[in-house]
Amino acid sequence: MKILLTNDDGIQARGIQALWQELATLPAAEITIAAPDRERSAMSQAITMHHPIRVDEYPVSSPNIKAWSIGGTPADCVKIAIEALMKTPPDLVISGINHGPNLGTDVLYSGTVSAAIEGALHGLPAIAVSLDSWQSRNFSAAVSFIRALSLHIHANPLPPNTLLNVNVPALEISEISGMSITKLGVRKYENIFERRSDPRGRTYYWMGGNLVDNDNDDDSDIVALQEGRISVTPIHFDLTSYDLMSQMEQLPNILAWNKS
């Protein structure tokens, strides 16, 4: 199985290193790593268009792993790996393991999820995986689950234009209370923009903010994680509102004014 690994925390992050060490033990695995050269969190689907993208080989002591450190966004990494660096497309794209969860509406900003979306845009099965902690370095449950999920997807392909967003509690494997197939919940923040001045007196703003308590349905990814369960959320990127399409078919011809 040919697997492309990426992330948004950078190629030196502990999460992606734990993941490639685990996946390299799969039978006949061929691992390609194409990850940013530094942290690129919250980049969403950004791509680099107006300056060069630097690509450097990254040393990994495993014969079945080829790695590149890339001076671009997570989406850049997937695009350049598939379209320029790899001789043949991978069987699976995995993005992570992210330090910190990617839940609910946060997926719209997430570089981790967007890298997996880029894989799905290329017609490939894709997984985004995050650990529910910014401090924990215990990725044992996450890597064990992704190993099993990778084998399952390889045998049971996902529908086109679909990816799986996985969030794993920062717990020991024995403490995790199961897995749930979930929908995206809702995350709301109270953003604070602090006004500051640089040494030359120019004004700039620094964004902070706190997560606001918000009720979520029991079948949401947020509740699953709160209850110690791994959440697996199928995501597709057809943003069309089909219900509204039907309603708008009744819309009067608003272009008629141009003909009067």
Distance, in Å, from the CA atom of 108 to the CA atom of 102, rounded to the nearest integer, reads: 9
Rounded Cα distance between 244 and 241, Å, is 5
Tokens of 130: 């995050």
| Residue 44 backbone class (left: φ over 0; alpha: ψ -120 to 50; beta: rest) | left
Domain 2-187+215-259 belongs to what architecture?
A: 3-Layer(aba) Sandwich (3.40)
Do 109 and 42 form a contact (C-beta atoms < 8 A)? yes
Domain map of the chain by residue range?
2-187+215-259
pLDDT value at position 183?
A: 95
Question: pLDDT at position 250, please?
Answer: 73
Q: In the chain, helix, strand, coil percent, each to 5?
A: 30, 30, 45
Q: What is the mean pLDDT of each run of 10 residues along the chain (260 residues)?
A: 97 96 93 96 89 95 93 96 96 96 92 96 97 92 97 94 96 95 87 86 84 80 95 92 82 61
DSSP 217-239: -TTBHHHHHHTT-EEEEEEE---
pTM metric for this prediction: 0.90
Q: What's the confidence (pLDDT) of residue 101?
A: 95
State residue 258's pLDDT score. 56
**What value, to the nearest 5°, has the Cα angle with vertex 230 and ends 22 and 187?**
120
